[in-house]
Amino acid sequence: MRAVVTGAAGFIGSHLCAHLLAAGDSVLGIDSLTDYYDRALKERNLRELTPHPSFAFHRVDLLETPLEALIDGADVVYHLAGQPGVRSSWGEDFELYARRNVLASQRLLEAVRDRPLRKFIYASSSSVYGDAPVFPTGESVCPRPLTPYGVTKLAAEHLCEIYRIAFSLPAVSLRLFSVYGPRQRPDMALARLIGAALTGEPFPLYGNGEQTRDFTYVHDVVTAMRDAAGSSFTGVANLGGDAPVSMKHIIAAVERLVGPVNLDPRPSGRGEARHTGADIALAARAFGYRPRTELDDGLAAMADQTVIDLAHLPEARIAGPRAPADSTGTPTHAEEG
């Protein structure tokens, strides 16, 4: 298949590009390389992709660039680009979220709506659920986001659905639950936690550590994205790790694998869900989704990559975003990096 991937230089986007190339697809990657966190990390991700003869990259902004030529001939469009971060979506920065998560998505949908795509895959987020009333949470639960970020992700998801209904666009929105793995964004919980274990720097723990997250390994996610693209399924589906754990459990696992962590306890942040957990039965039926990576294996792979980054990209290690960091590991966007 010929694939177009927006947010190709980010955390999930770069893993998706590598997975598609390994499967024999040709990939056109799109990313504007925003400055939400250190650009050196995104450039690192691209360096691992650009030598491949079936990969091409365009640094463009979805809001400013004519898109028709870029998507011409595409079989599948994977839309992962957007503005990440939960805490920074409050206040005056909300305009960025509205533009990059909603308006950019609508512009891309307009560009593809009359084209013979096999599939349009949108990376949504578990943030759309907010504090869900039941666990595990199924797609039939009414979404009630608790943050402006979650509102924009749900708005873009609704756009995908109305284009699916109005124009028969074969759209799939995948609600991602706490994606982790090598090259995770430096502001996200597990990246900061492993970095703290390796460097001795304090790790800000928001709340009492009893909050749970359904951590999902990045390779399981990108495998599911391609499987969904090759299936007949359209609509909305969860992608989770199928084994929610508390932050206390995660901290203990990192200490066991890497070393002691210096905790910096802080109050819970606004809009943070107490618990998240995905019902993945629909994805299992629709395109054979099954998370395969054990948490300790995924954390070990993250730690190995972090050691490499500390040696080769020390200036980018703690640069993080210009806004407050997410402490809960809530997945965002697909630049996701």
Residues with catalytic function: 149
Residue reference for tokens 């898109």? 67
53 CB contacts (<8 Å, ≥6 apart)?
A: none
CA dihedral 328→272→16→181, nearest 10 degrees, is 10
- The alpha carbon dihedral of 112, 15, 298, 88 has a sign of negative
d(CA 146, CA 259): 34
d(CA 239, CA 187): 22
- Structure tokens belonging to residue 314: 């020390």
CA distance to 105, 139, 242, 287, per residue, from 213 (Å): 27, 17, 10, 24
- Structure tokens belonging to residue 178: 């706490």
Beta bridge partners of residue 137, listed in sequence order: 278
- Structure tokens belonging to residue 70: 């870029």
- Alpha helices (runs of H) in 23-103, residue ranges in sequence order: 39-47, 68-71, 94-97
- Tally of helices (H runs) and strands (E runs) in the chain: 11, 13
135 CB contacts (<8 Å, ≥6 apart)?
A: 244, 275, 277
Residue reference for tokens 């609509």? 235
- Write out the DSSP string of 204-218: EEESSS--EE--EEH
The C-alpha angle 73, 77, 83, rounded to 5 degrees, equals 135
